[in-house]
Amino acid sequence: MGRCELLIHIVHISTEGSGTLTCAAPTRDTPSDKHSENSENSEHAATNFLNISRFLARMEATSIPALSFRTFVLWTMRTALEFPGTQRPDTILFVPAAAAWIQIAGAQILHWNNEYPQGQRLGAPGRGGPLWEGKHGFCRERWALWRGRFGDFATASSGSQEVRKAARQAEERMKEIEAEARTSSAAVGQSCQAHQERT
């Protein structure tokens, strides 16, 4: 019984350490208009997953250790942004959710630098998708990959307008966060230098 119960009706999380997120939209027994039902189910799942992601992102942004969802953040980012292409069936589910994490908690995510252990019993919860072969965790290089992938989705010639809009806003927000971090670092450096000169 834990945090992941919040997600049980929306995603299945692999119990083998892979951290694979898959859509769990409900199905119906009556075969009326299958295409329409599947579309409605997918849209419902996408909306629910986005709302849950926003909720968890707001809790993560509080920086209270007991409310940390970093592993879920990483799995969402990997599923949304670390696989080739921009037209996968689950794009509408995961890209807006990943964008929500950036909008709400991106300023914290940029500075995360933890690495996840891996092994036969642990699996590899921090591993990358096919587009990432680096650190099993958070780092600036992985952040840069995510920003670039948001750019890919934002400029895709086809696909959901909602996905393109969310991706474009996330890419812009990531650039803003990076600029704010540089400004903050420069200000700290100037403060340290001034202190040294006084002493």
Do 125 and 116 touch, CB atoms closer than 8 A?
A: yes
Task: Note the pLDDT of residue 149.
Answer: 98
Alpha carbon distance 19, 42 (integer Å):
21
Task: Note the pLDDT of residue 13.
Answer: 38
Task: Note the pLDDT of residue 141.
Answer: 97
Task: Note the pLDDT of residue 187.
Answer: 59
Spans of the chain below 50 pLDDT: 1-20, 22-35, 195
Task: Note the pLDDT of residue 9.
Answer: 36
Q: What's the DSSP call for residue 68?
A: -
Torsion over CA: 54, 99, 8, 43 (sign): positive
Where are the domains positioned within the chain? 3-198
Alpha carbon distance 170, 21 (integer Å):
20
Task: Note the pLDDT of residue 152.
Answer: 97
Phi, psi angle pair for 152, to nearest 5°: -60, -45
Do 95 and 21 touch, CB atoms closer than 8 A?
A: no
Task: Note the pLDDT of residue 164.
Answer: 96
Helix, coil or strand: residue 23: strand
pLDDT digits (tens, 9 = 90+) for 68-90: 688 899 999 999 999 999 988 88
Alpha carbon distance 90, 164 (integer Å):
14
Please report which helix (H) or strand (E) contains residue 155, including its range.
Answer: none
> Comparing C-alpha atoms, which of 17, 147, 23 is closest to residue 82?
147
Alpha carbon distance 106, 28 (integer Å):
37
